[in-house]
Amino acid sequence: MSANFRHEFIKFALARKVLRFGEFKTKAGRVSPYFFNAGLFHDGDSLRQLAQFYVKAIAAAEIEFDMLFGPAYKGIPLVAAIAIAFAEKGRNVNYSFNRKEEKDHGEGGGIVGAALEGRVMIVDDVISAGTSVRESVNLIQGSRANPCAVAVALDRMERGSGLLSAVQEVTQQYHMPVISIATLDDLVMFLETNREMSSNLGAVNQYREKYGVRGHA
């Protein structure tokens, strides 16, 4: 399948000002030349298109799965929108998400939606420290289901406290693939072929040389 959707996603994120260039201080205290905030996909049309990009990335990865799981809170609207996008493509997929605090009345419990079973794909916006992935894996395995992959919007391909990126750490620790709509490599390729945006290429490449990782473990 063509990877053109990855560059289309970058253009989409730029148009929605979800992806911006400049100087931005990260949680790690690094000064990044770009910033990606998926929380800014906050209208119906943006969420619809974002979900369609997730479906394309998941299809391109060719990973078998039975249902979707969205960790609270950002994963909740994502997993619902992606399930709708799959239905529009002719596949009816179950989904569920967790509560931050378990409910002790009504239906009770910490999981909302379909029962966790079979091969479960976790959906989130990004992976930073990997905390939500770890919590999701524990919940899924606690229900005797199998966490089979993680799908995110952007892989920054950036080292954490060690030599690996957060995505590589998740892949190593849980032995499951991480699917991304786009990566830092895709962003660099986009800048290399886009005259209007190419002025940002030098700063992004410098940042990648200093903090980036190559490939996936």
> Residue 157: what are its φ and ψ, rounded to 5°?
50, 45
**How many domains is the chain partitioned into structurally?**
1
pLDDT given for residue 215 in this prediction: 58
Query: Annotated catalytic sites, by residue?
Result: 103, 105
Q: Is the pLDDT of residue 104 over 90?
A: no
Any domain includes 98:
yes
* Per-residue tokens: 116: 């966790």
- pTM given for the model: 0.92
Any domain includes 217:
no
Q: What is the mean pLDDT of residues 67-87?
A: 96
Question: In which band, very low, low, confident or very high, does the pLDDT at 217 lie, cut at 50, 70 and 90?
Answer: very low
pLDDT given for residue 128 in this prediction: 77
Any domain includes 143:
yes
162-214 pLDDT tens trace: 889 989 999 999 999 999 999 999 999 999 999 999 999 999 999 999 999 96
CATH code: domain of residue 51: 3.40.50.2020
* Per-residue tokens: 67: 């249902």
Q: Is the pLDDT of residue 106 over 80?
A: no
pLDDT given for residue 27 in this prediction: 80
Strand partners, 120: 67, 147
